[in-house]
Amino acid sequence: MLPSHVSLVVAGGGPAGFMAAITAAEGLRLQAAASPAVLVLEATPEPLHKVLISGGGRCNVTHACWDPLALVAYYPRGGRALRGPFSRFATAETVAWFERRGLALVEEADGRLFPRSQRSVSVVDTLRREAARAGVGLLTGEALQAAVARPGGGFELRLRSGALLRADRLLLATGSHPSGHRLAVGLGHTVVPPVPSLFTLRLADHPLADLAGVVMDPVGLELTLAGTASRRQRQSGPLLITHWGLSGPTVLRLTAFAARDLKQAGYRGELRVDWSGGRSQLQLQELLAELRRDQARKQLSNARPWPELSRRLWLHLLDRLGVDAELRWADLGRRPQEALIEALRASRYQVSGRGPFGEEFVTAGGIALGEVNLATMESRRQSGLYLAGEILDVDGVTGGFNFQHCWSSGWLAGQAIAAAGP
């Protein structure tokens, strides 16, 4: 049965909500608070669903960036503000928290940390088990519909089912869902308008469509947007050519840091792609001169400038420039060589929009950080109200960084609520 009064209601059964609920409940239980001291409301039938499906079903829990000052650089929005929170609870503390509870994490070559089981259900099971052990109540299929601050402290809450509930404290961990923003606004907060972040790019007329599936690493990208200031966004790293455009970690990082500018530009602009891995014009000139000398009798199609250059991409560039692929290296003229060097260093493509609708990973926007005490995650506008996770105007690049913010903000909120007492 639903209790009429609890110490803390957590709206949102995601990673930030569970971390906050467990941390708060463990502290409140030590103070002999009534059980359950903490109640989590999850609007869907399945809590922690985002954890379950993340990382291709493996769950990229966090990233092996151990220095908090270095960690903040992976957050296009909120990075500077996270220095304080990450100095108290960041990657090392997250790894230790899970390991104390029986979940070992392993590092991959790119720094991502996954459960040793390579199954996201291990993370979900750990969080649900620890919540139950701490005495956290969980109500699924039930959402917080309205919240009113009581004059003497605490909140009167109305659930979607019509049930009424009183809580001493309220934590909103509803992610980027509009319902959480609406509740926060009703309690005095303002919302930085959300825009998509971490998405792929669609190319006009898609000149690379026949190369779908090709991966190049590293690739340099420079994005110039239509109708905005001359500021350019640059990233480098792995790139994947898809049926609709470009994807891969470097494209996701680019769109994360350029999220608001892309929105302002209507997702239109010019993308310059350096396929050469950062080689200079002089280096490429010397490389092609070596090929003319050492591979003189070989056809261009059978001797790529360097082994890591995709053969499909190389043939595509030759065709795009009208250079005969059966031409011998010894017969390559100066002008075709210059054109190839330019194509390898600075191919230009027109961006015509985002990738498939709904595939963006996170949103940029949320509750303005200046309205939250980031040492405790308590609202500066409403006493007893806490906010954690993606409801805040914080977002990271791909690689476990968004989950890390959820663990950190949830833990800080839980600690502060437990310290305040039942």
Domain residue spans of the chain: 5-196+361-420, 201-356
Q: Above 80 in pLDDT, residue 16? A: yes
Q: Residue 411 contacts by C-beta under 8 Å, 6 or more apart in sequence?
A: 19, 20, 23, 89, 93, 97
Phi and psi, residue 154, nearest 5°: 90, -175
Q: Could you tell me the pLDDT band of residue 2, with boundaries at 50, 70 and 90?
A: confident
Report pLDDT for 292: 94
Q: Above 90 in pLDDT, residue 1? A: no
Q: Could you tell me the pLDDT band of residue 359, with boundaries at 50, 70 and 90?
A: low
Strands 245-247 and 233-241: antiparallel
47-78 pLDDT, tens per residue? 999 999 998 999 999 999 999 999 999 999 99
Assigned fold of 5-196+361-420: FAD/NAD(P)-binding domain (3.50.50)
Q: Above 60 in pLDDT, residue 321? A: yes
112-125 pLDDT, tens per residue? 999 999 999 999 99
Strands 385-387 and 164-172: parallel
The stretch 391-415 carries a mean pLDDT of 97
How does the average pLDDT of the chain come out, rounded? 94
Q: Could you tell me the pLDDT band of residue 228, with boundaries at 50, 70 and 90?
A: low
Contact 65, 162 (CB under 8 A): no
Query: What b/e sequence results for 363-393 when a residue is b if at least 16 CB atoms lie within 10 Å of its CB, and e otherwise?
Result: bbbbbbbebbebebbbbebbebbbbbbbbbb
The stretch 257-264 carries a mean pLDDT of 93
The model's pTM:
0.90
